[in-house]
């Protein structure tokens, strides 16, 4: 079993030291308030004790955290008082992510996270390992997974000759695995950096894990260093400077607005001073206490403009930093990506774990003819910060994105069908109700404030027809040979390509209103890990008959695809169902 | 298509009655500490809630159907939003049967089917006799294991 | 069907006792800052909590059973809500063995099985001897890896 990088001992000691310090202090104060026997003054004693105990715990945690690569599984054993040992079969691994913050990059460290579809959080988080170890792990896991798959395929067909595997019928994926194996087998000839190289780490010298009974894999385990990523890493996409800038300027992150609000509450006085002084040249009040209604109005308008502009700038800067130098490639059976200016991310997604791909574009991006592409797996838990999907192409020319989607999934160009016009009527009614609510709210406000002329709010009704129309025209679906394509949304139009093979459940939903109009919505669920805000792909408001048809087609084609896949697996072929 | 056990109506009515009582207690608390609520209004609200609950429970029972088809578990349910769901057996991750205290009183049991999906990730069939629940669990487990050997995710 | 190790009752009782003590501390805090609570009442509540905890632990132990079947892991448990779970081996994503400080003191260990369906509600078998836990983890891991290999449809 391997240990983490020695520096993580220091990191854990600091982390737990301060955690226990605060816990000990708060607990002493709290209990001192409740029970007379405990003096609050003991804090001065409890705090250093907590710090020392926490630091000791942190160091012990480092010594008790072990991970290793075995022929079948990736193992992690952790915990000082409470122990956990976990075995993750290679074929269950969904994503392997490597994250490097600014300081970690300076120190040559990285955080490796391994995700499977089970469990809510990251299944194995290695804080920290050295950069070369991270690369080695990514590479090892990839090789091992291919190996296990090969072994399984070989065992599944005892009758088939080994020559079959190398027959011309062998497709890209298995030949990749083949070359991966041969290239890996030659690797031990190269000087293994952790044996004598200057980049030697104490954690990998004793390590190299695995069964000693398996000399081949043992030898391969020693291979580390940047070159072990494999020579055949094929580049699929790189974000050009122009595209990066366009992406930064045309996308808006709600998180930026949230961050700004957080900042405002954190430093309210300073923020208000700044806002008042910013509004002064435009006729705002000299200070907050004294001003006329007009100057307050000006202050409000200027502050809102300020807020929007600042949030936008934050969003642009964040996007720029996060997607700087984005690259997507393919290595063996995995997609690999890298991105980030200050904090560096890199990850790998097994091609056959991809659940669905989604093309997104907001109105601005559609105007200039650009779109982005997102890949989804089932790996991330609901609490993960990545929101469950990884960008394959942040932003590129629409045509290019569509071509890319087609090669990635094998989907034909979709010819979208629209919902019936009764759906349009439904949206008109829905938005009319929203508008009526707005007017009612204005009326209520007028009752309690000096504002009059509440009926001016009725102007929102003008927006109802265009809003309903825009919602309607952006809806569409296509029932393809191997895939279902669903398009929806105006502000962020999402076109999701779902292979029938990935369908988890299909549901036809009809609300009371839909039943009156003879409409239905079809929810096609895949094993995604999307957050609460990104709902599962839904075909909204189609005729009940069509919905039932698609429902049946989806189910039927899932079974057909499964049979094909099983057959292909039997004959040694693999088919990319993504 | 199979319907649920008729006794499930009683179970749901009992649940609705509990909800109505909780509402009554909430209103009584408002009456006591915030604003005066006339006792008549309180009674009317509770009674109305109860009647609506009963109607809802009866309708819900009338709508609920399920069937074990050749390739999938198929369910129909919902009073306000009517939902038809198909859960292919290949996608079943694991199956629970469970009964809570109220269900135990009525001698009923539920089957819960877990899939890896993000929405409808757990599908529940309530109102089954314990034997029926057991049988469904066995069937589903067998079908889930047989239908495919490659992993479902 | 296998039962858990009898010592698991001590673990559950210990957990109940910790809960009861925490309740006592909260009541003491209420006594100190909000309203007067007679010390006898606090003691009574803590003792009652402890008693209930013991009864719960004993009953839970009686109910808890599990079995490694030919194609699935099968569990039965629950005092208030009785749950029977079957997890087909094909669906197992990964397997943990874990033990906390109390379990370690009692020489016990748990096996936790994750499937893609159990986002947060994982399938846990508590109260195993460390050897048995290790054994079970090995079996489950092997079955999970193997079951993909025999490509039966």
The DSSP string of A182-231 is HHHHHGGGSPPHHHHSTT--HHHHS---S-TT-HHHHHHHT--SGGGG-S
Q: What is the DSSP string of A367-389?
A: HTTEEEEEEE-S-S-TT-TTTTE
Q: Would residue B28 count as lying in a domain?
A: yes
Specify whether B56 is located in the same domain as B78: no
Specify whether B136 is located in the same domain as B71: yes
Q: Is A490 or A158 the better-scoring residue by pLDDT?
A: A490
Question: A160: pLDDT confidence band, cut at 50, 70 and 90?
Answer: very low
Q: What angle do CA A142, A525, C151 make, to 5 degrees?
A: 50
Is it the case that residue C105 has pLDDT exceeding 80?
yes
Tokens coding A421: 């016009």
Output the CA–CA distances (angstroms, integers) from residue C46 to A429, A519, B26, C94, in the order listed.
58, 58, 28, 40
> Which of C86, C151, C153 minimises the CB distance to B137?
C86
Specify whether A376 is located in the same domain as A489: yes
Radius of gyration of chain C (CA): 20
Q: With contacts defined as CB-CB under 8 Å, which chain A residues touch B87?
A: 504-505
pLDDT at B121: 67
CB distance A478 to A497 below 8 Å: no
- The set of residues, in sequence order, having a beta carbon less than 8 Å from that of A9 and lying 6+ positions away, is A58, A59, A62, A63
Question: C143: pLDDT confidence band, cut at 50, 70 and 90?
Answer: confident
Q: Is C115 or A508 the better-scoring residue by pLDDT?
A: A508
Specify whether B49 is located in the same domain as B95: no
Q: Is A242 or A220 the better-scoring residue by pLDDT?
A: A242
Is it the case that residue A171 has pLDDT exceeding 50?
no
Least CA distance to C152: which residue of chain B? Answer: B149
Phi, psi of C120 (to 5 degrees): -120, -25
Q: Is the dihedral of CA A178, A181, A187, A192 positive or negative?
A: positive
Is it the case that residue A542 has pLDDT exceeding 80?
yes
A234, with CB counted inside 10 A (0-12, 13-18, 19+), is exposed
Q: Is A160 or A152 the better-scoring residue by pLDDT?
A: A152
Domains: count for chain B: 2
DSSP class of A90? G
pLDDT at B148: 53
Is it the case that residue A571 has pLDDT exceeding 90?
no
Output the CA–CA distances (angstroms, integers) from residue B14 to A391, B54, B102, C136, in the order listed.
49, 9, 8, 42
Judged by CB atoms within 8 Å, which residues 3-62 of C form the interface with B? Answer: none
* Cβ atoms < 10 Å from Cβ of A101: 16
What's chain C's length in residues?
153
Least CA distance to A521: which residue of chain B? Answer: B83
Q: With contacts defined as CB-CB under 8 Å, which chain B residues touch C147?
A: 145, 149
Q: Would residue A314 count as lying in a domain?
A: yes
Q: Would residue B3 count as lying in a domain?
A: no
Q: What is the DSSP string of A103-148?
A: HHHHHTEEEEEEEESSSSS-SEEEEEEEHHHHHHHHHHHHHHHHHH
pLDDT at A195: 39
Q: Would residue A317 count as lying in a domain?
A: yes
pLDDT in tens, A90-99: 888 888 889 8
Specify whether A232 is located in the same domain as A265: no
Specify whether B57 is located in the same domain as B76: no
Specify whether B111 is located in the same domain as B132: yes
Distance CA A436, CA A453 (A): 16
Cross-chain Cβ contact A83/C98 below 8 Å: yes
Section A210-232 average pLDDT: 41
CB distance A493 to A360 below 8 Å: yes
Distance CA A179, CA A139 (A): 14
Distance CA A481, CA C133 (A): 47
Domain final residue, candidates A453, A468, A483: A468
Specify whether A397 is located in the same domain as A508: yes
- Domain extents in chain C: 2-62, 67-146
* Cβ atoms < 10 Å from Cβ of A38: 16
Whichever domain contains B75, its CATH number is 2.30.29
Cross-chain Cβ contact A525/B115 below 8 Å: yes
Domains: count for chain A: 4
Section A42-67 average pLDDT: 92
Q: Is B83 or A208 the better-scoring residue by pLDDT?
A: B83
Q: Would residue A464 count as lying in a domain?
A: yes
CB distance A424 to A469 below 8 Å: yes
Q: Would residue A84 count as lying in a domain?
A: no
Specify whether A118 is located in the same domain as A175: yes
CB distance A370 to A240 below 8 Å: no
The secondary structure element, H or E, covering residue A394 is strand A389-397
Cross-chain Cβ contact B101/C80 below 8 Å: yes
pLDDT at A446: 86
Question: C60: pLDDT confidence band, cut at 50, 70 and 90?
Answer: very high
Q: With contacts defined as CB-CB under 8 Å, which chain A residues touch C145?
A: 72-73, 89, 91, 148
> Which of C29, C95, C104 minimises the CB distance to A87?
C95
Specify whether B93 is located in the same domain as B137: yes
The Cβ-side half-sphere exposure at B20, using a 13 Å CA radius, reads: 20
Specify whether B115 is located in the same domain as B52: no
Say what percent of chain A tops pLDDT 90. 32
> Which of B122, B137, B151 minimises the CB distance to C148?
B151
pLDDT at A286: 77
Q: With contacts defined as CB-CB under 8 Å, which chain C residues touch B138?
A: 86
Q: With contacts defined as CB-CB under 8 Å, which chain A residues touch C103?
A: 82
Specify whether B92 is located in the same domain as B130: yes
Q: With contacts defined as CB-CB under 8 Å, which chain A residues touch B149?
A: 566
> Among A168-182, A249-263, A327-341, A458-472, where is mean pLDDT lowest?
A168-182
Cross-chain Cβ contact A82/C100 below 8 Å: yes
Q: Would residue A45 count as lying in a domain?
A: no
DSSP class of A2? B
Section A508-528 average pLDDT: 88
Residues in chain B predicted with pLDDT less than 50, given as ranges, are: 149, 151
Question: C80: pLDDT confidence band, cut at 50, 70 and 90?
Answer: confident
pLDDT at C64: 93
Q: With contacts defined as CB-CB under 8 Å, which chain C residues touch B93?
A: 87, 91, 115-118
Query: Is A10 in a helix, a strand, or coil?
Result: helix
Q: Would residue A345 count as lying in a domain?
A: no
Of these ranges, A255-269, A277-291, A559-573, the one predicted with the greatest mean pLDDT is A255-269
Q: Would residue B98 count as lying in a domain?
A: yes
Question: C119: pLDDT confidence band, cut at 50, 70 and 90?
Answer: low
- The set of residues, in sequence order, having a beta carbon less than 8 Å from that of C33 and lying 6+ positions away, is A33
Cross-chain Cβ contact C93/B121 below 8 Å: no
Q: From A364, A134, A310, A110, select the one nearest A226 (Cα to Cα).
A: A134
Domain extent at residue A199: 95-238
Is it the case that residue C118 has pLDDT exceeding 80?
no
Chain C residues with at least one Cβ partner in A under 8 Å: 25, 28-29, 32-33, 92-101, 103-104, 114-116, 118-120, 122, 137, 141, 144-145, 148-151, 153
Distance CA C67, CA C65 (A): 7
Tokens coding A211: 């069964």
* Cβ atoms < 10 Å from Cβ of A388: 21
Section A61-78 average pLDDT: 90
Domain final residue, candidates A180, A213, A238: A238
pTM value > 0.80: no
Query: Is B25 in a helix, a strand, or coil?
Result: helix
Q: Which fold has domain C67-146?
A: PH-domain like (2.30.29)
Cross-chain Cβ contact A563/C151 below 8 Å: no
Distance CA A189, CA A210 (A): 20
Specify whether B139 is located in the same domain as B109: yes
CB distance A483 to A497 below 8 Å: yes
pLDDT in tens, A359-396: 999 999 999 999 999 888 877 655 555 555 678 888 99
Tokens coding A435: 């508008």
Specify whether A209 is located in the same domain as A247: no
pLDDT in tens, B35-79: 888 889 889 999 999 999 999 999 999 999 999 988 889 999 999
Specify whether B53 is located in the same domain as B99: no
Q: From A214, A319, A310, A195, select the one nearest A262 (Cα to Cα).
A: A310
Least CA distance to A547: which residue of chain B? Answer: B84
Distance CA A235, CA A335 (A): 10
The secondary structure element, H or E, covering residue C109 is strand C109-115
Cross-chain Cβ contact C90/B144 below 8 Å: yes
Mutation pick from C116, C122, C138, C141 vs chain A, by most beta carbons of A within 10 Å, is C116
Query: Is C26 in a helix, a strand, or coil?
Result: helix
Q: Is the dihedral of CA A381, A383, A388, A392 positive or negative?
A: negative
Is it the case that residue A159 has pLDDT exceeding 70?
no
Query: In A271-304, which positions are buried (b, 16+ CB within 10 angstroms) versus exposed (e)?
Result: beeebbeebbeeebbeeeeebeeebeebbeebbe
Q: Would residue A70 count as lying in a domain?
A: no
Q: Would residue A83 count as lying in a domain?
A: no
CB distance A536 to A524 below 8 Å: yes
Specify whether A359 is located in the same domain as A252: no
Distance CA A472, CA B146 (A): 43
Task: Please state whether the peptide bond connecting residue C34 to the residue before it is cis, i.e. omega within 30 degrees of 0.
Answer: no
Cross-chain Cβ contact B153/C152 below 8 Å: no
pLDDT at A472: 94
* Cβ atoms < 10 Å from Cβ of A526: 26
Q: Would residue B55 count as lying in a domain?
A: yes
Domain extent at residue B29: 8-62
Q: From A529, A533, A483, select the one nearest A389 (Cα to Cα).
A: A529
């Amino acid at each position: 079993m391997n240990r983490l990088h020695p520096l993580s001992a220091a990191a854990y000691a600091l982390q737990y030291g301060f955690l226990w310090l605060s816990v000990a202090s708060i607990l002493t104060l709290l209990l001192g308030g409740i029970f007379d026997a405990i003096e609050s003054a003991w804090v001065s004693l409890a705090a250093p004790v907590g710090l020392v105990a926490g630091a000791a715990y942190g160091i012990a945690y480092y010594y008790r955290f072990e991970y290793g690569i075995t022929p079948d599984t990736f193992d992690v054993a952790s915990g000082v008082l409470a122990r956990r040992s976990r075995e993750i079969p290679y074929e269950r691994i969904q994503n392997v992510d490597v994250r490097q913050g600014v300081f970690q990059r300076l120190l040559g460290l990285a955080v490796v996270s391994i995700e499977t579809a089970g469990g809510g959080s990251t299944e194995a988080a290695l804080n920290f390992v050295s950069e070369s170890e991270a690369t080695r792990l990514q590479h090892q896991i990839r090789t091992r997974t291919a190996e296990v798959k090969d072994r399984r395929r070989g065992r599944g067909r005892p009758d088939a000759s080994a020559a079959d595997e190398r027959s011309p019928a062998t497709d890209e994926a298995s030949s990749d695995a083949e070359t991966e194996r041969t290239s890996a087998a030659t690797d031990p000839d190269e000087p293994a950096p952790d044996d004598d190289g200057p980049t030697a780490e104490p954690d990998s010298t004793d390590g190299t894990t695995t069964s000693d009974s398996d000399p081949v894999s043992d030898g391969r385990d020693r291979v580390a260093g940047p070159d072990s990523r494999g020579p055949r890493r094929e580049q699929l996409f790189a974000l050009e400077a122009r595209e990066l800038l366009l992406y930064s300027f045309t996308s808006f992150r709600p998180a930026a607005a949230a961050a700004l609000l957080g900042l405002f509450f954190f430093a309210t006085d300073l923020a208000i001073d700044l806002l008042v002084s910013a509004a002064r040249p435009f006729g705002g009040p000299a200070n907050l206490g004294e001003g006329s209604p007009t100057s307050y109005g000006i202050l409000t308008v200027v502050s809102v403009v300020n807020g929007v502009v600042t949030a936008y700038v934050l969003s642009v800067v964040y996007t720029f930093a996060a997607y700087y130098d984005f690259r997507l490639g393919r290595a063996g059976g995995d997609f690999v990506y890298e991105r980030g200016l200050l904090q560096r991310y890199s990850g790998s997604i097994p091609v056959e774990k991809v659940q669905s791909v989604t093309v997104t574009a907001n109105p601005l991006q559609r105007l200039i003819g650009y779109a982005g592409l997102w890949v989804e797996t089932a790996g991330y838990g609901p609490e993960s910060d990545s929101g469950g999907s990884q960008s394959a192409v942040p932003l590129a020319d629409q045509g290019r994105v569509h071509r890319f989607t087609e090669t990635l999934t094998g989907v034909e160009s979709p010819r979208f069908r629209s919902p019936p016009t009764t759906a349009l009527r439904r949206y008109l009614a829905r938005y009319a109700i929203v508008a009526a609510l707005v007017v009612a709210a204005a009326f209520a406000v007028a009752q309690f404030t000096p504002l009059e002329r509440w009926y001016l709010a009725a102007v929102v009704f003008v927006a109802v027809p265009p809003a309903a129309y825009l919602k309607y025209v952006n809806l569409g679906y296509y029932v393809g040979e191997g895939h279902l394509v669903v398009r929806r949304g105006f502000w962020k139009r999402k076109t999701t390509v779902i292979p029938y093979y990935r369908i988890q459940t299909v549901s036809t939903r009809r609300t009371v209103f839909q039943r009156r109009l003879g409409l239905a919505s079809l929810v096609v669920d895949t094993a995604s890990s999307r957050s609460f805000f990104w709902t599962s792909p839904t075909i909204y408001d189609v005729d009940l008959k069509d919905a039932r048809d698609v429902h049946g087609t989806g189910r039927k084609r899932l079974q057909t695809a499964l049979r094909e896949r099983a057959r292909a697996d039997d004959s040694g072929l693999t088919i990319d169902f993504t | 298509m199979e319907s649920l056990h008729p006794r499930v109506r009683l179970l749901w009515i009992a649940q609705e009655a509990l909800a109505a009582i909780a509402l009554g207690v909430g209103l009584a608390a408002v009456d006591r500490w915030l604003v005066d609520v006339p006792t008549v209004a309180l009674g009317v609200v509770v009674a109305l809630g109860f009647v609506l609950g009963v109607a809802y429970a009866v309708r819900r029972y009338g709508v609920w159907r399920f069937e074990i088809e050749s390739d999938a578990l198929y369910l129909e349910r919902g009073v306000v939003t009517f939902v038809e769901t198909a859960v292919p057996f290949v996608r079943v991750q694991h199956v629970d049967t469970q009964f809570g205290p109220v269900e135990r009183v009525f001698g009923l049991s539920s089957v819960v089917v877990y899939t890896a999906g993000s929405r409808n990730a757990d599908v529940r069939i309530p109102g089954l006799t314990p034997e029926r629940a057991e049988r469904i669990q066995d069937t589903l487990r067998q079908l889930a294991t047989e239908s495919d050997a490659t992993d479902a995710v | 069907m296998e039962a858990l190790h009898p010592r698991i009752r001590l673990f559950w009782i210990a957990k109940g006792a910790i809960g009861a003590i925490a309740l006592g501390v909260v009541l003491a805090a209420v006594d100190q800052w909000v309203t007067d609570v007679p010390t006898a009442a606090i003691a009574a509540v803590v003792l009652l909590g402890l008693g209930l905890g013991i009864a719960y632990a004993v009953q839970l132990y009686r109910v808890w059973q599990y079995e490694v079947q030919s194609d699935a892991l099968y569990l039965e448990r629950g005092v208030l809500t009785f749950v029977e779970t079957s997890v087909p081996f094909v669906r197992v994503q990964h397997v943990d063995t874990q033990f906390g400080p109390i379990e370690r003191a009692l020489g016990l260990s748990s096996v936790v099985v994750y499937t893609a369906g159990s986002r947060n509600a994982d399938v846990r078998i508590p109260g195993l001897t460390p050897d048995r836990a290790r054994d079970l983890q090995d079996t489950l891991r092997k079955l999970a890896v193997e079951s993909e290999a025999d490509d039966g449809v």
